[in-house]
Amino acid sequence: MSESLLEAWNRPPTIEVDGEGELLEVAMGPHHPSTHGVFRMDVVLDGERVIKLKPVFGYLHRNHEQIGQTVGYLQMMPYTDRLDYFCSLTNNWAYALAVEKLVGQAVPERAEYIRVILAELTRIQNHASTIGFLTQEMGASGTPLMYAFREREKILDLFESLTGSRMMCNYMRFGGCRVDMTEAHLNAARKIVTGLPRFIDEFENLLTSNEILMARSQGMGVLKPDLAVNAGITGPMLRASGVNYDIRKVDHYGIYDRFSFRVPLGEHGDIYDRYMVRVLEMRESLKILEQALKDIPAGPFIDPKAKIRGFKPKPGEAYGRIEAPKGELGFYLISDGGTSPYRFRIRPPSFINLTVLEDMCIGQNVADVVVVFGSVDIVLGEVDR
């Protein structure tokens, strides 16, 4: 055994910090049950209180941006599935939106409706499983998670019958969608939508008024609205801090201006608000789904003039963004006229939402670190790309 390894093992577990006394330094992750994959937090503890926390990334880094610059525009579509593998359809949409913006491609109405339906279903299943994971991190032995997965399974079954794959959908195309949503698919979606309110009620019965959950989450991991805006936090986490910013309402991308829905806002910006905002957003998504499934028109599902092969946009750039379940998902493309983008950039919401992880965790308990982390809602595939 090498001498240095021996030394490392025999080193006392605490570190001396001036003015603070003996502190415990713990590397939470990359092998840790609650880091959602391979993520590391270097935590410095005083007893169980967090003094310092540094996130360490990159264990799942695959350099998607470089891949995007080597393969063609269409070929990048299946790779976007693998960013945030919980919501491949919203990833598809964001990328399709950016490319459509780059080339000025119009999308037929029916395709827009299909996109909205799929994106909102994705949002529901993402929020449900996020809450499941969050409570799992609070130690609920997986019961809410299993309930969430039970419903998620129904949505994924619809995705599979429509797109061919449960998670890696690769469904959207520039100017529309790959295949049409038939009446059978729409009916399946309607059936899911009618069944979901009961599930959300059940979920809320189990959790919302649970005193332990309240004790664990109210007043914990508070994020102030000014900091949230300044740090570029987006999605439910931002709205839980009380900032009214939903890209569906701001940009009206797709056809979101046609639906009536509300944006739930939190007040305290703590974990409980993040939980509740997600629950309420699921209910609002159901409203959108009901309207979209009622109004979906007949027509082409893809622009017949849209090009699949030999796609060469004119030189220029575009930044397309959507309200993905985790926050603002943007794709920034620079074209030099070639078959693949000159610059391909993903703006990953879960990565940027982690900016304030340290601010939310300092002064909290080590047990709260994992809960705060869970409430951010990240997927490592997107954080590390």
Partner 1 sequence: MKTVEEIKTAIETAVSGAQLEIVPNGSPSAEHSLLVDAAHAFAAAKFLRDDAELKLDFLSNVTGVDWLDKETTEKVKVTRPVEKEVNGVKTMVDETVEETKKTVTPGYLEAVYHLYSMAKKHGPVILRMRTGNRSDKVELPSLTPIWRAAEFQEREVFDLFGIIFTGHPDLRRILMWDGFKDYPMRRDYVDPDDYEYEPTAHDDVLKRAQAHLAATTTEAAQ
Partner 2 sequence: MLGEGLLKGLGETARNFAGSFVSKERLTTVQYPEEREPLPEASRAFPFLVYDGADWEAGLRCVACQICEKECPPKCIYIEKSKDKKPDYVGKPQIYPAKFDIDISVCMSCQICVEVCPFEAIKMDNQFELATDDRFGGLLYDRKELARSNEYYHKIHPTEAAEVDARLAEEKAKAEEKAKAVAAAAAAKAAPAMAAKPAEGAQPQ
Partner 3 sequence: MTNMLDQVFVLLKHRIVGLVPMPVQPILGAVLSVVAILAVFPGLFAISVLLERKGLGRMQNRIGPNRVGPLGVLQPVADGIKALIKEDLVPYSADHVVHFLAPVVLVVVVFMGYAVLPMGRNMTFVPMDAGLLFYFAMGASAELSIFMAGWSSRNKYSLLGAMRAVAQMISYEVPLLLSSVVIVMMTGSLSLDKIVEVQNQYTWGLPHWFVFTPMGFAAFVMFAIAATAETNRSPFDLPEGESELVAGYFTEYSGFKFAEFFLGEYVAMLSISGLGATLFLGGWSAPLEILNVVPSWFWFFAKIMVWICFYIWMRGTFPRLRQDQLMNFAWKFVLPMTLLNLLVAGLWRFMGEGWLRWVVCSAILLAAYVLGGRIGMRSKKFGPRSYRYAE
Contact positions vs partner 2 (CB under 8 A):
71-72, 74-79, 81-82, 143, 147, 150, 153, 157, 160-165, 168, 170, 178-179, 202, 205-214, 308-309
Q: Which is nearer to partner 1, 116 or 233 (CB)?
A: 233
308 binds, among partner 3, partner 2, partner 1, none (CB under 5 to 8 A by kind): partner 2
Q: Which of 56, 51, 58 has its CA nearest to residue 41?
A: 56
Does residue 138 interact with partner 3 by CB under 8 A?
Answer: yes
77 binds, among partner 3, partner 1, partner 2, none (CB under 5 to 8 A by kind): partner 2
SS3 of 119, please? helix
Residue with tokens 């827009």, as numbered in its chain: 112
Burial letters for 321-356: b for 16+ Cβ neighbours within 10 Å, e otherwise?
A: bbbbbbbbbbbbbbbeeeebbeebbbbbbbbbbbbb
Residues that bind partner 1 in the complex, under the rule CB under 8 A: 57-58, 61, 63, 65-66, 101-104, 227, 229-233, 243, 245, 250, 313-319, 321, 328, 330, 332, 334-335, 342-343, 345, 347, 351-352, 354-356, 384-385
Which residues within the stretch 228-267 sit at the binding site for partner 3 (CB under 8 A)? 244, 246, 249, 262-267
Does residue 54 interact with partner 3 by CB under 8 A?
Answer: no
- CA pair distance 381, 362, nearest whole angstrom: 26
Cβ 378 vs Cβ 105: under 8 Å:
no
Q: Which is nearer to partner 1, 120 or 328 (CB)?
A: 328
Q: Could you count the other beta carbons within 10 Å of the beta carbon of residue 272? A: 22
344 membership: H or E segment, kind and range: strand 343-347
73 binds, among partner 2, partner 1, partner 3, none (CB under 5 to 8 A by kind): none
Q: Which is nearer to partner 2, 45 or 76 (CB)?
A: 76
Degrees to nearest 5, angle at CA 108 with 105 and 113: 120
Torsion angle of alpha carbons 187, 172, 178, 173, nearest 10°?
150
Which residues within the stretch 94-133 sit at the binding site for partner 3 (CB under 8 A)? none
Out of 63, 66, 143, 194, name the contact with partner 3 by CB under 8 A: 143
299, burial (CB in 10 Å: exposed 0-12, middle 13-18, buried 19+): exposed
Cβ 216 vs Cβ 138: under 8 Å:
yes
72 binds, among partner 3, partner 1, partner 2, none (CB under 5 to 8 A by kind): partner 2
Does residue 4 interact with partner 3 by CB under 8 A?
Answer: no
What is the DSSP code (8-state) at residue 22? Answer: E
- CA pair distance 258, 103, nearest whole angstrom: 25
Rounded least distance, CB 101 to partner 1, Å = 5
Cβ 237 vs Cβ 327: under 8 Å:
yes
The footprint of partner 3 (CB under 8 A) covers 1, 9-10, 13, 24-26, 32-34, 45, 48, 135-143, 146-147, 150, 206, 208-216, 218-219, 244, 246, 249, 262-268, 272-273, 276-277, 280, 365-370
